[in-house]
Structure 1
């Protein structure tokens, strides 16, 4: 399977009388985009604003961040199962507005869920989102809707905006192209190279998925066991984050750091990327044992992997599930590396120890709740309501997990851990 990303670099984002791409400047017609989103009767109104790199601006509470993308006509379905019909993602050409982001703000998220984008100050330097040009969308839903129905409206608004913006690139020459090509576990001509797979959690059953929570090809993962996916399916809209993104934004499914790095090694002839497995964290012990067993067996018997990289989705139970999956892989002869976020609050190694398997000894730290950031007051806030604006505009201390991109379950974090 081959996916070509046509990259159109964005260096400026502003509002105008029509929506178009002028070189590297993206101009957005606020009225036409608003009308497009209001075709969903669940929305009563839509506010939007722009946040550019270096601006003393804070956005929150964030529902999701997504990169503007659209499939070349005839090349496939946009966000299959959510916006477009079910079709295999990861094939053909997808146009990408690199440097731009659609950031959905959740007007009803409580103050305790301080998931923010920080565009300036020390914390912004540790987040990959601070260098992007954000079109912040604030949908206001019908107050009579159930909470999950309102969240589903936010999800639809996110992908509609992504495609609306990216359509400006159709017919234009990209600045660059990126090709992702892998023939899976039976690739010829790569004898002797280590065979490496990726196992990634896409949901945690500690929180029951809503009936309309569209995570994998529009499905909510209820009753799901681990499934094999081509690496390109993650990169091209087959997977999006759930309603509580847990340090996992759709932007870094589209630009998955682990899959992208494995692909780089694949191209350089260091490894063979044989495939990926999407799984979920369990709600009880039997569910955990089943999912971990099946994921490890797929890596061994379906993908014939020599090595596996694993990531989690969520907190302590996903942490333990990931570790057990790695242990079972190690016991079957597969080398593993796991990415962990620190679950402790006191910076003590003993508090962070949620597993102790001697076999699982290649561990990468990607940030956690043990680090707080002092945020300065800001001149501008993009929020869902006046109370949230007032709460976010002042100087405050916030844990790293509350700042998008500082703690990243997908592995984009810039933080490292030290024992001292």
Structure 2
């Protein structure tokens, strides 16, 4: 399976009379772009607002992040979701690199929505302070959700996908400025030299705890709550087979943008044939009931052992209840003789002294921490707010509370509410210092 990713390195975004890319600048016809958004009658009000690195801008409530892309050959964008169900991971995809479509609520937020600062101390919490953001600020007629703490946000999220593809299509016929090639042959067609290297699998544990459709991460449009662990080619993940779910405290969420830019997968692909033999990705889920957790862990172990894995990396999306799934999988893999490294964030309290994970094991002796969801953050006011700042305190954001937004626009909050702050895919600023 061979995937070519053609990059167009965007250095600026402006509005203009037509949508096109030229000499590092993306120009957007706002009226035409909004027509794509309004294809869904559920969208009652929408606008596009630009937010660039260094701007004195605060964005809230952010629901999703999507990279503008288009499929040139070998498939479609968002297969099984906004387009027909076909395989991902082959052919060529063109990308407006450095840009991002953010789905932002004009008024209503929720438990799983987050905040992004484009400058100041808050900018150090998330990679999306470094992207050229096209903010889709919208409201919908989904009245049944407005008073719900946890929202599906489907109309806005789907509109953001359509908008991202519309923008990406402006470079469909153009020659990319640079080309990334991901070519991982079938396991039985590898050289003797590669087969002598340590055999490694990557386990992606998707957030899937909600029983009702519409909240969980999607795999080719399929609700991950209703799947068992499945072996996938890394190219499928890098080409849009996974769509972020709406449910998950914001700092722990893996956005759709981060799935296609998964830094861990990209590094594993670059090491294939040099230091490791990458066998593939086991896409798993995070469950609620103990038997479901045990079943998924067993499936992960069986797939990994059948492939003959020597080592594994386990990435957990989330914290709390999912920690039990995370530790169960590590235990199963270690018991099978597979050396395992875990990647997860922690919930250690504001002082960092609480138990970091809900469940622990002596076998989980190699874990990379990506942050503390309880970290206390103080942010100064910003000149401009995109969306509605009050939603942070009013609508149950997992990092905000009544009174956390001050009269002058400054904020006291927890890291929990920073959008994708603890990216477990490896795309973020943070490092771990052991004291």
TM-score range with shorter-chain normalisation?
over 0.9
| Other-structure match for 2:138 | 139
What are the superposed Cα offsets for residues 58-83 of structure 1, whole Å, 9 maximum, x if unpaired? 111111011101100x4211110111
What are the superposed Cα offsets for residues 212-258 of structure 1, whole Å, 9 maximum, x if unpaired? 86611111123311111111111111001101254211111010011
| Other-structure match for 1:116 | 115
- 1:266-281 to structure 2, matched below 5 A, reads 266=272, 269-281=274-286
Change (3 A) 1:386 1:349: closer
1:69 pairs with 2:69:
yes
- Root mean square deviation, CA, Å: 2.3
| Other-structure match for 1:154 | 156
Question: Aligned partners of 1:386 and 1:35: how far apart in 2?
Answer: 28
* Residues 346-355 or 325-334, more deviating: 346-355
Question: Aligned partners of 2:232 and 2:323: how far apart in 1?
Answer: 22
Secondary structure of the 2:227 match is coil
Question: Aligned partners of 2:110 and 2:207: how far apart in 1?
Answer: 23
Change (3 A) 1:195 1:257: same
Question: Aligned partners of 1:35 and 1:149: how far apart in 2?
Answer: 24
| Other-structure match for 1:88 | 87
What are the superposed Cα offsets for residues 105-124 of structure 1, whole Å, 9 maximum, x if unpaired? 13464466561111101231
| Other-structure match for 1:261 | 267
1:410 pairs with 2:425:
yes
Q: How many pairs were matched up?
A: 416
Question: Aligned partners of 2:359 and 2:143: how far apart in 1?
Answer: 44
Q: CA deviation at 1:7?
A: 0.4
Q: CA deviation at 1:153?
A: 1.2
- 1:14-413 to structure 2, matched below 5 A, reads 14-72=14-72, 74-107=73-106, 109-110=108-109, 115-144=114-143, 151-189=153-191, 190-205=194-209, 207-211=210-214, 215-245=218-248, 246-266=252-272, 269-301=274-306, 303-383=307-387, 394-413=409-428
Question: Aligned partners of 2:292 and 2:198: how far apart in 1?
Answer: 31
Question: Aligned partners of 1:389 and 1:12: how far apart in 2?
Answer: 33
What are the superposed Cα offsets for residues 279-306 of structure 1, whole Å, 9 maximum, x if unpaired? 11111111111111111111111x2211
Question: Aligned partners of 2:432 and 2:90: how far apart in 1?
Answer: 38
Does the 8 Å contact 2:319/2:357 carry over to 1? Answer: no
Secondary structure of the 1:338 match is strand
Question: Aligned partners of 1:153 and 1:145: how far apart in 2?
Answer: 13
TM-score (normalised: structure 1): 0.93
Question: Aligned partners of 1:217 and 1:348: how far apart in 2?
Answer: 38
Change (3 A) 1:349 1:264: farther
Does the 8 Å contact 1:209/1:220 carry over to 2? Answer: no
Question: Aligned partners of 2:313 and 2:161: how far apart in 1?
Answer: 29
Secondary structure of the 2:153 match is helix
Give the unaligned 5+ runs of structure 2: 395-404
TM-score (normalised: structure 2): 0.89
Q: CA deviation at 1:197?
A: 0.7
Question: Aligned partners of 1:247 and 1:54: how far apart in 2?
Answer: 24
Secondary structure of the 1:34 match is helix
